[in-house]
Amino acid sequence: MMRTRPLKVALLGCGVVGSEVARIMTTHADDLAARIGAPVELAGVAVRRPSKVREGIDPNLVTTDATALVKRGDIDVVVEVIGGIEPARALITTAFEHGASVVSANKALLAQDGAALHAAAEEHGRDLYYEAAVAGAIPLIRPLRESLAGDKVNRVLGIVNGTTNFILDKMDSTGAGYQEALDEATALGYAEADPTADVEGFDAAAKAAILAGIAFHTRVRLDDVYREGMTEVTAADFASAKEMGCTIKLLAICERAADGGSVTARVHPAMIPLSHPLASVRGAYNAVFVESDASGQLMFYGPGAGGSPTASAVLGDLVAVCRNRLNGATGPGESAYAALPVSPMGDVVTRYHISLDVADKPGVLAQVATVFAEHGVSIDTVRQQGKDGEASLVVVTHRASDASLTGTVAALRKLDTVRGVASIMRVEGE
């Protein structure tokens, strides 16, 4: 039997995502009510510019006083899609204090203060859901938090930023340089006017922190994630990748150590074999590859951003939270019982592709090989090309720690025969 009294929803933010959430709540009201067991009512919309016309939204619901809206006391669920740290953090905690559960898409806040927000939700017996914070419409948070709750996840490897994937895919498929591909992404609306958060890996790093925390039942903050952007990736890097049967992606990688005693979380560009499922992810799409003991290998794929895809994830959470509300229950909260240490990047072990500019004369290869051996880095393959006294030397290593590779490169720079290090790229996905 359906309850007739509606559940009241406060919407914080009415931009691209928020306006789509409001539209779906209105146009699919009957379906949402049937799925939840009670109607849902948009009780208020907090915005910065109240004079802006918002099609389909009653102007009487619009307010600039978000704090007063979440303090009303009759709000059942607050949907936060304003982003940023403040005032979002204060508004979410205030919502809990005044009896509302929260659905959020705020990856930056969750990566920085997820533990405190979960604690506040638990203290007040409320839900905190955030499927939309990572990979847009792709169901990922709930499968990790619920479907795989009985499994042991060992690795999460993914493309979690559509802007960077569009740029790198364009460089790969057309031979374009970084700036040319970025300009096209901007013209098509895939990149912001200031793309720093995307291309420097900040956005992906926040998502990696959230994924690692859930996957490994360990608190992982944004500061724990190693971050490296993709602005230095060149057409020459793609040419080298193709010679190896690889492409280049900006990856978020969360791993459990082989001995199970620690975890790592990192974001950086990497070569990935064309045979790996992630290599075929094109354009602005996202995909996440999960490896676990019992389930084996799972891949989640779909649109990772945009108003409708992100709103889909928000509405999925809204339905779940409203059902919990009707049943007088709460869903799964934070699971951080494992409390594993987060290892520094220096401990990470992977393969490397190193391109060196060297003198074209006898003995150079022997000198370079000696340096690698002295630092305990085993060489897999070497390719050398020379002309007019100058040469390029491409070395692909077996698996080595980041710290040992860093020492190797520092020693290589001291050799008179090494003119410079053209590029260093990690090789993942094998």
Q: Which residues contact 95 (CB under 8 A, 6 or more apart)?
A: 10, 70, 75, 78, 101, 102, 126
Q: How far apart are CA 314 and CA 137, in angstroms?
A: 9
The candidate with the shortest Cα–Cα distance to 167, out of 148, 188, 152, is 188
- How many other CB atoms are there within 10 angstroms of residue 415's CB atom? 16
At 329, phi and psi to the nearest 5? -130, 175
414 is catalytic: no
Q: Phi and psi dihedrals of 373, rounded to 5?
A: -65, -40
Using CA atoms, how far apart are residues 81 and 325, in angstroms rounded to an integer?
21
Whether the bond between 362 and the residue before it is cis, its omega within 30 degrees of 0, is no
Q: Which of these is catalytic: 8, 52, 152, 207?
A: 207
- What the block records as the tokens of 216 is 């490994």
> How many angstroms separate the CA atoms of 93 and 120, rounded?
7
Which position has the token pair 């724990």? 224
User: Which pairing describes strands 40-46 and 349-359: parallel, antiparallel, or unpaired?
Assistant: unpaired
Find out whether 130 and 119 touch, Cβ atoms under 8 Å: no
The answer to whether the CB of 317 falls within 8 A of the CB of 127 is no
**CA angle centred on 87, ends 85 and 90, rounded to 5°:** 95
Is the CB of residue 383 less than 8 Å from the CB of residue 394? yes
Cβ proximity of 306 and 285 under 8 Å: no
DSSP run (H or E) holding 425: strand 418-427
Residues 6+ apart with CB under 8 A from 60: none
CA 202 to chain centre: 9
Tokens, residue 227 = 């971050």
In angstroms, the first-to-last Cα distance of the chain is 53
Nearest to 391 by CA among 382, 400, 379: 382
3-state class (DSSP) for residue 247: strand
Catalytic residue ranges: 207
